[in-house]
Structure 1
Amino acid sequence: MVSTLVFAQENLEYNSFSPGSIWNDTDGSHINAHGGGFYYEDGTYYWYGEHKDSHSLANVGVRVYKSKDLYNWENCGVALAVSNDPNSEITKGSVIERPKVVYNRNTDKYILWFHLELKDQGYAAARTGVAIGDSPLGPFTYIKSFRPNAGVWPQNFSEEQKNFNSEESKYEWWTQEWSEALEDGLYTRRDFEGGQMSRDMTVFVDDDGKAYHIRSSEENQTLHIALLTDDYLDFTDTWVRVQPGGQNEAPAVFKSGDYYYMITSGLTGWDPNAARSFRSKSMLGPWESLGNPAKGKGANLTFNSQSTYVLSVQGLKDAHIFMADRWNPKNHQDGRYVWLPIKISDGKPVINWINQWNIKDEFLNNF
């Protein structure tokens, strides 16, 4: 297959990646697109991310950049702006995280999903928000936010698990009885009527056009994977629990060969931890745990970063880039980006640290 990637020209600033370094856009400003998602169309890549000030609240919205070569990025403005209306769910001071954009061929619309926390409520809302646009650059129009799959049991839930136990709500955190109840669906039952929690999330569109919403749920203790409706604007009744009680967040999904792969992180707030990886022959599972994909020095902290997306480079076979954030809670706008190649070895994703690298050299054997 002939590559559609346009390699960086000599007159542009970058022709390689330097993970963790300051990364300026074509205007000379550090790229401000954290917790990012990516979309490709007609030779152009689009990078959507959280615009950060010194703190973590949303005062601008979701910013979008575009690039032909993945090295040099042009700031194209705000794709989804926060609202000045204090009654809006996406008013200034809310929390907008992990924006992901997908294109719907049936409706010719671009769909933006994200994690939303309402203003002055901390992380209590645990909602997912959706917006729609006519162009990958936006502007996107906000539609709504909600907790998914209200009144619907997961497909991998037994009849016995659907039975409510009034005593389990009294269990103390981290006790043995609480852990057992958690794995058995304690929070799934609790949130059944109002909808399941949705924090860190991503969206994956399969080869057949079906789209899946992957989210950290159940107080961040369990992953949920749900099939979206044909227009990608809502949830079907098809969803599953993944790794109950496994404490996974920051999901990133990609496909290679016969397998779907997922990379996540553990729960340590803004601090890094050891990544996890999983694989399955179906998006709805079952998912097999594969351990930490990061290898070598710094692997126990995923090279001081947290996953946000895995990009499959257009035109190259099995050329996947692990994309992660190196958060800076003392000054969020200074957060850095760690992009590293993923290799599949013995059916498992492997990520090694490289100080500086480029796509052509790293994936040369795939041309």
Structure 2
Amino acid sequence: MRRVYAVLLALCLALAGALATAGPAQAAPQTVTTGTQFTDTNGSPVHAHGGGVVKVGSYYYWFGENRNTDNTFRYVDAYRSTDLKNWEFRNHVLTEASDPELATANIERPKVMYNASTGTFVMWMHKENGVDYGEARAAVAVSDTVDGDYTWQGSFRPLGTHMSRDITVFVDTDGAGYMVSAARENYDLQIYRLTADYTGIAGLVADPWHGGHREAPALFKRGGVYFMLTSGATGWNPNQQQYATATSIAGPWTAMTNVGDSTTYGSQTAYVLPVQGSSGTSYLYLGDRWGNSFGGTVNDSRYVWLPLAFPSSTTMSMSWSPEVTVDTAAGTVSGTSATYNTLIARHSSKCADVTSQSLWARAQIKQYTCNGGTNQKYWFKSVGGGYYQLAVRGSSLCVQENASSVTQEDCDGSATVQQWSLTITGSYVTITSRASGECLDVNGASTADSAALITYTCNGATNQQWTRGG
């Protein structure tokens, strides 16, 4: 009997030891809402703007900008996740106090790469003086651990004279490191090979789109084909993004081809993340919807994540999806199919409209002449039990009943003030709040533009009847 107990004890101890040394549990599939401001596991906003991701073991580490209210540099923050939805804050890996040069700096688009030969994590970034964009310098910092404090190595212009603004990095399958940056007042997009330790420039590899006026580069490789995805140079405002391909990083590269819609769904490229798992590798577009483009600051920015599709080995497409489901274990990324409708008031023939095309929470819903804008389009997302959330296409926020108004707010699947039931009578639908039992109503049956939407005792009037248009 003692021997049996001894064997059982040994097995228990071995199991406990295995559990203690095991990595994180395999991540379950997760759904990420597109166009929102993410929060970390503590409920704080994720500040990883203009950022990039590096995978270490089972963890994805996301680095990005955390700025002061005047948009100057505060931190480069690091977060980690196994499933790409639940992000744990790890460290302010680079701060204003890291080096005197950073005390009054502006740091943009930090990207981290791992050098397998030196065992070092190397961060490249765009550095300015915090006042204007006259420096146009690249900068480097290093760390022995992925989320430790990074040591500033200094800033410089590549090859001594080349301007360097928006920046990205790439490690090829042979271990060679590359840096891409916007040069010559953003009119050129140049590809540099890095030194063996990734901390310096070995030489210029290609300048394929000379005079193209491109920025926000993201470089990745799929199969034997290199893809370069970039935006136009329109400041904080989104524009039509384009991509090019090559079978050698030195070229020849193809001409740029449009991808996505005319504003890339209100975003600008930050990074393209390969998600590799048991079923293969998928590619996830990580974009920034800059807060500065809608009256805020960098730290007000939202994240636009979308799956990339590849109709052929050398072509790429990107479509809007309000939600993206990521399975990091399988390596799959898929978008949610959604139909968006306008809501047209029967009595006025005007559309339910988020005032001034606002992207901010608490913006009122009013009626306005129908114009096809994304602030007049709603996704009726089922939450079960015959109830729906009404998610606005333009803002990714949800329609909410308040005491005296109807507004758009951050979506909360458990909030009954954001849940609505539908009653269809002939060609019209009545929309009823789950919280109050009152109907969506144009205040005072007004037919004027900018009349407020409210909830009111259901009475069958035509200002409570709506047509769902395409």
TM over 0.5: yes
Output the CA distance in 2 between the equivalents of 1:220 and 1:364.
32
Structure 2, unpaired ranges of 5+: 1-23, 335-470
Matches within 5 A, 1:1-367: 6-8=26-28, 15-58=30-73, 60-83=74-97, 88-91=100-103, 93-120=104-131, 122-150=132-160, 195-294=161-260, 299-315=261-277, 316-329=279-292, 330-346=296-312, 347-360=314-327, 363=332
Tell me the SS of whatever aligns to 1:359. Answer: strand
Structure 1: where are the runs of 5+ without partners?
10-14, 151-194
Cα distance in structure 2, aligned partners of 1:279 and 1:84: 38
- Determine the C-alpha separation between the residues in 1 that align with 2:97 and 2:318: 39
Structure-2 change in CA distance of 1:215 and 1:233 (3 Å): same
- 1:359 deviates by 1.9
1:180 aligned residue = none
Query: Shift in Å at residue 25 of structure 1?
Result: 0.5
**2: CA distance between counterparts of 1:355 and 1:349?**
20
Instruction: Give the alignment's TM-score, normalised by structure 2.
Output: 0.62
* 2:97 partner amino acid: S
d(CA) in 2 for partners of 1:52 and 1:261?
A: 30
**Pairwise CA distance, 1:148:** 0.4
Distance between the aligned counterparts of 2:170 and 2:199, measured in 1? Answer: 14
For residue 265 of structure 1, report the CA deviation from its aligned partner.
0.2
Q: Encode CA deviations 1:186-224: one digit per residue, 9 max, x unaligned.
A: xxxxxxxxx200000000000000000000001100101
Contact 1:128 1:198 in 2 (8 A): yes
Distance 1:64 1:265 in 2: 25
Residue 5 of structure 1 and its aligned partner are, at CA, apart by 9.2
Q: Secondary structure at the match of 1:149?
A: helix
Q: TM-score, normalised by structure 1?
A: 0.79
Q: Which amino acid aligns with 1:29?
A: S
- Given that 2:325 and 2:333 are in contact with CA atoms closer than 8 Å, whether structure 1 keeps it comes out as no
Which structure has greater strand proportion? Answer: 2
* Local SS of the residue matching 1:135: coil
CA–CA separation in structure 1 for the residues paired with 2:321 and 2:227: 22
Matched residue SS, 1:16: strand
Q: Contact 2:98–2:151 (CA<8 Å) still a contact in 1?
A: no
Shift of 1:290: 4.4
Q: Is the contact made by 1:8 and 1:71 (CA closer than 8 Å) also made in structure 2? A: no
In structure 2, the residue corresponding to 1:51 is in which secondary structure?
strand
Q: Quick check: 1:5–1:314 contact (8 Å CA) kept in 2?
A: no
Count of equivalent residues: 304
Deviations 1:314-362 (A, max 9, x none): 2252400000000011232110011111111132111111101202499
For residues 205-244 of structure 1, the C-alpha deviation after alignment (integer angstroms, 9 at most, x for no partner) is 0000000000000110010100000000101134321201
1:103 aligns to what SS in structure 2? strand
Kindly provide the amino acid, as one letter, of the partner of residue 17 in structure 1. V
Structure with bigger RCO (C-alpha 8 Å, 6+ apart):
1
1:230/1:199 CA distance change after superposition, 3 Å = same
Alpha-carbon displacement from aligned partner over 1:51-101 (angstroms, at most 9, x marks no partner): 02333211x22000000111110011201112286xx2211x311000000
The whole-number CA distance in structure 2 between the counterparts of 1:349 and 1:17 is 22
Gap change, CA 1:287 and 1:84, over 3 Å in 2: closer
Q: Distance in 2 between matches of 1:146 and 1:107?
A: 22
Q: Percent identity?
A: 38
> Would the alpha carbon gap of residues 293 and 231 (structure 1) be closer, same or farther in structure 2, given more than 3 Å must change?
same
Amino acid corresponding to residue 275 of structure 2 in structure 1: V
Give 2:266's aligned amino acid: N
Q: Does the CA-based 8 Å contact 1:290-1:348 persist in structure 2?
A: no
1:135 shift after superposition: 0.4
Deviates more, 1:315-324 or 1:265-274: 315-324
Distance (Å, rounded) in 2 between the aligned partners of 1:100 and 1:362: 22
Local SS of the residue matching 1:89: helix
| Counterparts of 1:98 and 1:90, CA distance in 2 | 15
